Structure 1
C-alpha cells in the first residue's frame, strides 16, 4: 500500500539513496535536510505523512531532539531511526524516545523494506483502534475525517467554525457521503463533546410512532403504552440531537419540532405539562428541502429554522482524490477486523479502476465494495479480480476474462470475437456479447470504450474517436454510408478522419463511394 514517507537526513547522498529506495518500494518520498526542516515539513503537511525515516546525528537539531518534540506534540507518526552508531545505549535511548525501529548505516534495503512494511501495518491497526475507541470517549474530531480534497476542506472549515456556537446546522448531501460523520465531528469539537450524541433516522420511524419516538409518552397515553417512554429530545438533553433525513417528518410532527426549537421545550404524548430541554440540533437531508417547501411537503417556517447554517457535503465523484485514501483506510480496517493480517494493501491498477468509478452510493458503497473484496482476497494484496461488479461497469479487462471464462492474458494480435446472441448476465452480474481487442490495447466489452489508459490516466479524445470509428466500420461491415449516418457525421467528414488516423489510403474515398 503506497504511503507518503518523510526522510530527514543532513547528508545529501544518504537522502538521495533513501529516496530512491523508498520510491522503488512503491511509496512517495519527501526529503528534509535537517531536524528543524523536517518538523516544519511535517507541520505544514497536517497529517499527510504516514512514516518518518530519521537520522539521529544531525548538526542543527539531532534525531533525539526531534523525537522529543514529536512526543510533546502528541504526534503518533511512526519513526524509523538510522545512524552509523549501533551501540546498545543508542538503540535503547531511541526506542524509549518513541522510535518504532532502528537501522544501522549503511542501510540494507531488504531490512529497510521490512521495517517500512511493519511500521505502516502497525500504524494502520493502531489508527483503527483509536478511531474505534474515540466515539465512546469524547467523540470524533475533524482530524479523523479522511480527506485531502479542497471541497471537503471547505466543509471542515465550516464545521469547525460552527462547533464553537450552538447555531442550528443543516447538512445537505447525497446518501452515503458522510453527513453523520461531519455531525459527529462538530459535536466532538464543541463544548458538548462529553455529552450525549443522539441520532434519529426520521425516515425509518413508522409514521404512527414518530411523535412518541421524538418526544416520548406517558404511561397509558395510548393503547399499548404500558410504561413511560423517554423521547429522543430528552435523551439528548445537554448534548446534541442529530435528525437524519429530516425531510421525512410528517407535517404534524414538524409543528412540534418547530416549537421545540423556538421554545426549547417539548410535550410528551399524554403529558399534562411541557418539559424544558437543552440540546444542540443538527439536521441532515439528501433532498432539496426548498423544493419540498414549494410543493407543500415541508413547512417553510421550519425550513428557515433548520437552515440557519447550511453545510453541503459533496458526493464522492466530485472529490476523487479522496478515493485512494478511503480505500487504504477501509482495507486496513477490514483486514484487522476479519483477521486477514496478510492483506497489506491494494494493487495500483485496482486503485485506478476504483478512482474511475462514479460511486452513486458514495462512501457507503465504496466501503461495502472494499469489505467484500477483503473477504474474497486470498493473497497479500487486493486486485481488480476482487471487484467484479466495478470492473464490469468500468469496462475493465478483468470483466471480459470472467465473461469468457478465461483468466489467460489477452492475445498479442488484435482479434474480434463476434456473436449474434443477446447479452448474457453471469452470476457476477457481468454482461457481454462480443469482444474487440482494439489496436494493441486490453480488450473491452462490446459496446464499451476504454476510458482509462494502461497508466491509469484518462485516454485522449482523439484515441477514443479513432477507436469508435474502427468499431463502427467493423460493426457495419465497412458500409461507409451507414457508418457515417450512425456516427452522426457527413461522409466527407468520415473520409477525412479516416485519412487523419491513417485508416485509409489515398484512393480509398473513391473506392468507398463506388462500393456503396
Structure 2
C-alpha cells in the first residue's frame, strides 16, 4: 500500500485534478469536500491512516486555518500542505504558524506538488523515527508508536493497551521476528512503571548451567568462578518490568524456581542464605506452542497458567502486507541515517515487490532486506534493482497463466478466454507470466522476468517490451479492457491504438464492452 494523501477542497474539479496528480505520482488518494469532513476523517480511529494532507485554505464551512486548529487541539500529527489562490505573505505566515509544513499557490504544477509531498513525507518519517528511537532508548516507547494499518494487528494493540493499564502477566506469542519484544517495550512504556527499568532476557541464549545464576543471582564463592556477587535479572528489574523472551526454552530446574518467584514475589540467589523480595511486572514471549509442550511434559503446567494470564498473539507479516510500506519507510530512514547514505525514498515498484513477498522471517527479514538495499543503493531512491534476491525468487510467487491451461474447455478460466467478440493474434512466444523487470545483471534469467536484453545481448526494442507487457496485462485481467487500461495508466482509446499498432487487433464489436480474451 502506497502513502495515503487526503485532498481537501470544496471545488469538485480541483479535487479531481489533484486526485489524478497524486495517483499519477504513485500515491493513494482520498478526498474530502470540506473542512468538517476532513477533521472527522482524520480523527476517526477506525479510518485508514493518512500520511499527508493537501488542504485548501479558503472553504465555505471550515476553512484551512480552522482545520489546522482543530487538528492541533485533537493531537493529530500529520503533515499538511496548504494551497490557495490567494498567495499573500500574510496567508503564508498564518498557515505556517498554524502548523502547515508547506504552502503552494493554485494552480500548482505537478513538479512542485510532487516535491512538496516527498519533502513532507520524508520529514515526517525522519521525525517519527528519531522520536521512536529516543523513546525506545529511554524506555518510554508506547503502544501509539507502533503504526499499523492491519485490522488484526490493531486489535492486538488495543488488547496490549488494556494490559498496559495493569500489572497483569502477559504472554506474547507469534513467529520469530514478528516484533514481540517491541510490543513488550510498548506495554512497559504505556504503563505506570515506564519510569522504572525494563530488563530483557533471552532465555534461549542462556547456558543451562548458568540460568539460575543469571535470573536469580548468586553470592560470591557460590560456585567455581563466582568471584563476585551478582544480583540477577529479577532484582535488576525490581520496580519495573522483566521480559522473558523465548520462555519456552527454560530448562525444567529453572521453571521450578521461576514458578516460586512468581508465587512468592521473592528469589533465592545461588548460594544465598535468605530470599530477596522483588517486585516485577512479568511479560514473557515464545514462538513455541506451549500448550503442546505442556502436553508432552516439556513445560510445567502450573507455570504455564501463571504466564498465560493475558495472552496476545502477533500475526505474521505475510498476513498484514498492508504494513510493509510503512515498515520499509521506517527502516529506510533509520539505516540511511546510520550508514550516512542519502537515500530518501522507495519507488512504487519496489514497494509493490516487497509487499508481494511471504517473508518467512517476518519483520526481521524485511529489516535486513532494506538494510542491504540501502548499502547497495547508488542514488537517492530504492528501486527493484536494489532487491535482486527478491527479483530472483519472484518466480515462485508469480501467478502463471500459460496458454495451454487457457485452451482446456473444462476450466472456468478457459471458458472466459473462449468468449466471443474478441480475437487476439498472439505471437507464439510461449506461456505468459507476471513480468517483473530485473534491473540487476547479477540476477539469473527466469521465465517470470521481463527480459530487457535480447539473445544478441543488446537491449530489446521498446515496442517489443511494451507488446509483451500489454499481452500479459490482458491475460492477467481476463480481457477486462477498462481494468487493463486503468492498471497500465492509459486511456482505453490509447490501449486500442496500441493493440492495432502492435498487430494485436481487436474486433470492432469488442470495443464497447469489457470481454474475455484468448
Same fold flag (TM > 0.5)? yes
C-alpha distance 289-462 of structure 1, shift in aligned 2 (>3 A): farther
How many angstroms does 1:88 deviate by?
1.9
Q: CA contact under 8 A between 1:218 and 1:271: conserved in structure 2?
A: yes
How many angstroms does 1:12 deviate by?
2.2
Q: Is 1:106 the equivalent of 2:107?
A: yes
1:298-309 pair list within 5 angstroms: 298-309=299-310
Please name the residue that 2:352 is paired with: 352
Q: CA–CA distance in 1 between the matches of 2:148 and 2:346?
A: 19
Structure 1's unaligned 5+ residue stretches are 399-411, 417-426, 444-452, 464-500, 503-516
Please name the residue that 1:40 is paired with: 40
Q: Is 1:249 the equivalent of 2:264?
A: no
Secondary structure at the counterpart of residue 162 of structure 1: helix
Please name the residue that 1:125 is paired with: 126
Q: CA–CA distance in 2 between the matches of 1:11 and 1:333?
A: 39
Q: CA contact under 8 A between 1:175 and 1:286: conserved in structure 2?
A: yes
Q: Is 1:209 the equivalent of 2:210?
A: yes
Q: Is 1:414 the equivalent of 2:429?
A: yes
Please name the residue that 1:291 is paired with: 292
Q: How many residues align?
A: 429
Instruction: Calculate the aligned-residue CA RMSD, in Å.
Output: 3.2
How many angstroms does 1:334 deviate by?
2.0
1:370-449 pair list within 5 angstroms: 370-395=370-395, 414=429
Q: CA contact under 8 A between 2:48 and 2:149: conserved in structure 1?
A: no
Q: CA–CA distance in 2 between the matches of 1:145 and 1:322?
A: 11
How many angstroms does 1:154 deviate by?
2.2
Q: CA–CA distance in 1 between the matches of 2:283 and 2:36?
A: 42
C-alpha distance 437-137 of structure 1, shift in aligned 2 (>3 A): closer
How many angstroms does 1:437 deviate by?
7.6
Q: TM-score, normalising length from structure 2?
A: 0.76
Please name the residue that 1:224 is paired with: 225
Q: CA–CA distance in 2 between the matches of 1:382 and 1:32?
A: 32
Structure 2's unaligned 5+ residue stretches are 399-426, 432-440, 453-467, 480-516
Q: CA–CA distance in 2 between the matches of 1:15 and 1:460?
A: 31
Q: Is 1:182 the equivalent of 2:183?
A: yes
Q: Is 1:6 the equivalent of 2:6?
A: yes
Q: What are the Cα deviations for residues 454-503 of structure 1, in whole angstroms up to 9, with x where unaligned?
A: 7999x97999xxxxxxxxxxxxxxxxxxxxxxxxxxxxxxxxxxxxx98x
Q: CA contact under 8 A between 1:176 and 1:363: conserved in structure 2?
A: yes
C-alpha distance 356-101 of structure 1, shift in aligned 2 (>3 A): closer
Q: CA–CA distance in 1 between the matches of 2:112 and 2:478?
A: 47
Q: TM-score, normalising length from structure 1?
A: 0.76
How many angstroms does 1:89 deviate by?
2.0
Secondary structure at the counterpart of residue 30 of structure 1: strand
Deviates most, 69-78 or 360-369: 69-78
Q: CA contact under 8 A between 1:397 and 1:442: conserved in structure 2?
A: no
How many angstroms does 1:180 deviate by?
0.9
Q: What are the Cα deviations for residues 232-270 of structure 1, in whole angstroms up to 9, with x where unaligned?
A: 111111111110000111111111100111111111112
Q: CA–CA distance in 2 between the matches of 1:173 and 1:278?
A: 27
How many angstroms does 1:138 deviate by?
4.9
Q: CA–CA distance in 2 between the matches of 1:395 and 1:58?
A: 51
